[in-house]
Amino acid sequence: MRPDPLRACFHVLALLLALLLPDAGHAQTSLQPLLQEHRAAIATPARGTAGAMVAALLSSGHPEAAEFLRRWQDRGVVERRADGMFLYSDDAGGLREIDGGMAVTGLTSRDVSPIRPNAGVRAVVAAALVPLALSDPDPERRRAALDAIARSPEAGQIAPLMASLDVETDAGLRARKARLLTLLTAQFGPDRADRLAAIEGLAGDIAIEARAVLNQITGRVPGVAASLPEGANIARVLEVGEDLTGIEAHDRLVAANLAPPRPTPKDLRDALAAQIEGGSVGGIPLHRLDTQAMRLRAYEALEAAGRVPPRSGPAEVTDAVAAHVFFETYTEPDAEITAAAEQALSATTRQIALYQGADLILDGLSLASIFFLAAIGLAITFGVMGVINMAHGEFIMMGAYTGYVVQIFVPDYTVSLIVALPLAFAVTFGAGVAMERLVIRHLYTRPLETLLATFGISIALQQLAKNIFGTQARPLTAPDWLGGALTFNDIVGISSIRVAIFVLALIFLALLLYILKRTRLGLEVRAVTQNPGMAASMGINPDRINMLTFGLGSGIAGIAGVAIGLYAQVTSEMGANYIVQSFMTVVVGGVGNVWGTLAGASMIGFLQKGIEWFNPSNTLAAQTYMILFIILFIQFRPKGIVALKGRAAGD
């Protein structure tokens, strides 16, 4: 029979196909045999073997392979001890066949051994699954895959990402994919023009991931050589004496093994100590070696005798430094790319500075409103009535503890807050009225002694709170709707509690202005503070007005206490922390004027944040400098920012 060339060709082709797609036969039928081929790697997961196994399973093209790996990394696969077959186990503890999903019964937990891949192995699987997950029908899986890419970007992710971008249906995910693609292209893109375009697109982008990419591209390593290397992407050349000191330069030379190290005083001492002979070193008696100069002379004598290794003296250091150039190179070799990235970064930096300014203003505003809240009660008792109430801080504390006690009885935080605010006002109003009636009333003619009496009340109240509530801080929990933060972008943000405190401060300002300027009570308060005798002859009862005014100031302190307790913790000493600052706020702003207190709080708040901005790690220093500034400020404006004029000013 004559051989049929066509037929032979066909046979060869079929053979080739079978070789190229070794598992084509299995694919339609079952996964288990394939798994058994890699049973060692599957049954005992290890970081070293997982990679190859995962690659093999995924390249088999079996449609169930990805699902298997997902379950395997989630610890949903067990091994049957009897025959080493792998089974799926579901959450309820039931077991299923891998192929077909038939339930397997009659096995106890002793018949199967669990497989527990550790975090490292799971990361390997997750990374391998990412390209597949990008076009997974489940949007949650796609989102998780995108997050995985954002966490550890790699060059190989560009292609699958680009492929999945066109078929993406969800608009939000599509935008996220496009953005990740830009980031990846900027960092790893194979085409220079694409990279440049992507980098330009990142200019002024203040998101942390964009900045991370740009910083990666412009990453630098220090270098030192006899002359500038050819073809390297040099970021800048460092001038010795300007950009780095001679000592630093020499240290770099030493680190690069281009120069011998300088001996430290300790090296010198140790070297000499090793050469002591009969009470002297190098001919110099021991007791004279108590200066550096004498030690150097001794070392030189030893060096001349060849008994110690030569050291690099100052002249050698200078020569070695002069003989080398110091520079920084980009890790990215392409100069055009790094230049574009630097430009994009500087645009971003400008943008960030702008936003940081905005954030600083928000911070200052928030701090100012806290100071304002703490001080506004004092603005009434001290500012309007002239009573120095050192126990004002303890009223703040009483308010906060009232809020804490209410929370014990009312578990719902929103309701308890609504109850606590008026209750705190009532409690501290009562305390204030009692204090005014019992103590302060008798001391109106002796203002400095009010300070002492109220200080006594202050330490007594503090200790009482300590005896009742203990010394540890008590939490005052904010309701959930106050728990979040108002975030504008990656830089500008403010917590909701601070917004609430700001709003509360505004409400108090308006309320107080209204009471003082528009109500009968306010009129009488102003009359009594300006001239009690005349007010009394007009039919106003000064005692009653003083009592009510003091109660009002104290009550506001109580509400402020609830607000402050929400973001700081409640302790018996919390009031003491605010008292000095509150007095300064009132004095700086100008006594006798609510607007003055606002001005004082704003100045102190913004000033403190401003000083902190220069040295963010040190809030203590910021407070110190702020107080010094206040001391100086009062020298020049002893009556405060908003000074009363005319008769109302008194003396």
Residues lying near another protein in the complex (CB under 8 A): 265, 269, 272-273, 276, 281, 286-287, 289-292, 295, 388, 390, 439, 442-443, 446-449, 451-453, 455-464, 466-467, 576, 580, 583-584, 587, 618, 620-621, 623-624, 627-628, 630-632, 634-636, 638
Is the CB of 240 or the CB of 301 nearer to another protein? 301
For residue 508, the one-letter residue type is F
Is the CB of 261 or the CB of 456 nearer to another protein? 456
Nearest-approach distance from CB 646 to another protein, in angstroms: 18
With H, G, I as helix, E, B as strand and everything else as coil, classify residue 347. Answer: helix
Nearest-approach distance from CB 554 to another protein, in angstroms: 16
Nearest-approach distance from CB 587 to another protein, in angstroms: 5
- Note the helical H segments in 205-291: 208-217, 246-255, 265-273
Q: Which of 604, 606, 599 is nearest to 360 (CA)?
A: 606
Q: Are strands 112-114 and 220-225 parallel, antiparallel or unpaired?
A: unpaired
Burial of 102 by CB count in 10 Å (0-12 exposed, 13-18 middle, 19+ buried)?
Answer: exposed
With H, G, I as helix, E, B as strand and everything else as coil, classify residue 309. Answer: coil
Write out 539-566 in H/E/C secondary structure. CCCHHHHHHHHHHHHHHHHHHHHHHHHH
Nearest-approach distance from CB 302 to another protein, in angstroms: 13
**Which token pair is 467?**
């005896």
Nearest-approach distance from CB 182 to another protein, in angstroms: 44
Cβ(73)–Cβ(42) below 8 Å: no
Is the CB of 572 or the CB of 602 nearer to another protein? 572
**Which token pair is 477?**
């929990």
Nearest-approach distance from CB 288 to another protein, in angstroms: 8
Phi (first) and psi of residue 202, to 5 degrees = -90, -5
Nearest-approach distance from CB 622 to another protein, in angstroms: 9
Burial of 634 by CB count in 10 Å (0-12 exposed, 13-18 middle, 19+ buried)?
Answer: middle
Q: What is the DSSP letter of 478?
A: P
Is the CB of 523 or the CB of 627 nearer to another protein? 627
Residue 369 has a CB neighbour count (10 Å cut-off) of 26
474 in the Ramachandran plot: left (φ > 0), alpha (ψ -120 to 50) or beta? beta
Is the CB of 45 or the CB of 263 nearer to another protein? 263
Length of the chain: 651
Is the CB of 192 or the CB of 441 nearer to another protein? 441
Is the CB of 275 or the CB of 496 nearer to another protein? 275
Q: Are strands 77-80 and 280-281 parallel, antiparallel or unpaired?
A: unpaired
Nearest-approach distance from CB 513 to another protein, in angstroms: 24
Is the CB of 38 or the CB of 269 nearer to another protein? 269
Contacts of 468 (CB under 8 A, 6+ apart): none
Is the CB of 89 or the CB of 585 nearer to another protein? 585
**Which token pair is 528?**
């009594």
Nearest-approach distance from CB 557 to another protein, in angstroms: 18
Nearest-approach distance from CB 574 to another protein, in angstroms: 15
Is the CB of 360 or the CB of 443 nearer to another protein? 443
* Beta-bridge partner residues of 329: 221, 234
Cβ(577)–Cβ(416) below 8 Å: no
Is the CB of 202 or the CB of 390 nearer to another protein? 390
Nearest-approach distance from CB 636 to another protein, in angstroms: 7
Residue 417 and residue 562: Cα distance in Å, rounded? 8
With H, G, I as helix, E, B as strand and everything else as coil, classify residue 153. Answer: coil
Is the CB of 241 or the CB of 447 nearer to another protein? 447
**Which token pair is 299?**
């070392």
Cβ(369)–Cβ(398) below 8 Å: no
Nearest-approach distance from CB 381 to another protein, in angstroms: 12
- Note the helical H segments in 96-220: 119-133, 139-151, 158-167, 171-188, 192-201, 208-217
